[in-house]
Structure formats: structure tokens, C-alpha cells
Amino acid sequence: MDPEDNDLKERLQKRFQQLPQVVQNAITSADVEQHLRKMAETQKLHLDQWETLENEVMLTLYGFQPAEDLEKNIKSEVGVSDEVAKSLAEDVSKIVFQPIREELERQLEHPDAKAVEVSGVETARTQMLAGEAAKSAAPPVLPATPPAEPVTGTVVRAPVSEAYKAGEPSTTRKSVEDDPYREPPA
């Protein structure tokens, strides 16, 4: 193994440990790589250009290069035009750096910090993962339509036909006047 590689790994490891937890999470997250890959596909970058772009972003995340120089570094290192470099730098700033910045502001209780946007599904997931705490708490009362009043009346039956005789088929009856299920013969 090359001694320069060991030196670089040690420098990166030292620097990683000095970074805030939010930045460490961003570096180790697969989200950054996925976002950069999508940007590379959108801009039709080759594999080597995409890898160089990822290296430039990581060097900026580690703090080895200033974020202000990202556009210039992308242009010179990745080998793209001014407008592509500007577009990539803006996308990286929006997709990678802005969420990190917002999380740092929340942690530092900055007055301009935005609240974390959490969906209902994510809230439910968090509650489910909380386990026993969520089980011991009473479920929230949700607004709903009140239940219907119970039925208190009785069913009234129609009077039994005088022509009806138990056990006798209705076809043999001579009188079908008050039989609701038979029509008189025509």
C-alpha cells in the first residue's frame, strides 16, 4: 500500500471526526451519492466525470475546499462548460448543502431555523418505533361522526291472512284475496 494513501486516509479520518454529526451523517449517507448520480445523468456526465464531481463535493463537505469555489472546481476538475458547472453547483448547494445547513441551524437554535417537516407517515413510524411509550399512552381522540341512537321501537307485523292455513301450500288455496305473494288468476 502506498504511504501517501495511508496519509490521505488518516487525514480524512481525523477530519471526519472533527465534523459535526450532521455533516458526518451526510457523508456516510447514500442519499448524497444518489442525488449526485441523478444530477450526473441529467447533465449527461461520463462515469469519470461523475466520480470527479463526487470527489469535489466530498472535499467540500470535509472542509478541504471552500464551498464558494465549488463552481470553479467543478468547471476545472470535471471539465464542463461554465453553464453546466453553474447548474451543478446550484443543484449541489440546494440538494446537499441546504439540508445540512438547515439541520445545523436547528441544532444551534438559530432564529431563522426552519422547523423539521415531518409527514404523517413519518410521525406514525416514529411513534411505532418508540415502542412501550406509545403503547402506554392513550390513543388520541379523533373527531368523528357520533354513533346513531339505538333503536328502541318494535317491528310491527302485518296481520296474517285469513286464507292462510299452516302446512297448506299457497297453490291449493281457493281464496288469494289477501295473500301478498299471489296474484289472483286472470
Over the stretch 76-133, which tens digit does the pLDDT of each residue have? Answer: 888 888 888 888 888 888 877 887 777 777 777 655 545 555 566 776 667 667 664 5
Please list, in sequence order, all residues whose beta carbon lies within 8 angstroms of the beta carbon of residue 116, skipping any fewer than 6 positions away.
Answer: 106
Mean pLDDT within 59-88? 82
pLDDT score for 115: 53
CB 107 within 8 A of CB 99: no
CA 124 to chain centroid = 11
All cell numbers assigned to 36: 449526485
Phi, psi for residue 169 in degrees, rounded to 5: -65, 145
Domain boundaries, the chain: 9-130
CB 78 within 8 A of CB 53: yes
pTM confidence score: 0.51
Grouping H, G, I as helix, E, B as strand and the rest as coil, residue 166 is: coil
pLDDT tens digits along 3-60: 666 777 788 788 777 777 777 777 777 777 787 788 878 878 888 887 888 888 888 8
Looking at 30-186, list the stretches that DSSP marks H as alpha helix, in order from N- to C-terminal side. Answer: 30-42, 47-62, 70-73, 82-92, 98-107, 120-130, 132-136
pLDDT score for 142: 73
Is residue 134 predicted with pLDDT exceeding 50?
no
All cell numbers assigned to 137: 399512552
Question: What is the DSSP-derived secondary structure letter of residue 67?
Answer: G
Grouping H, G, I as helix, E, B as strand and the rest as coil, residue 134 is: helix
Grouping H, G, I as helix, E, B as strand and the rest as coil, residue 41 is: helix
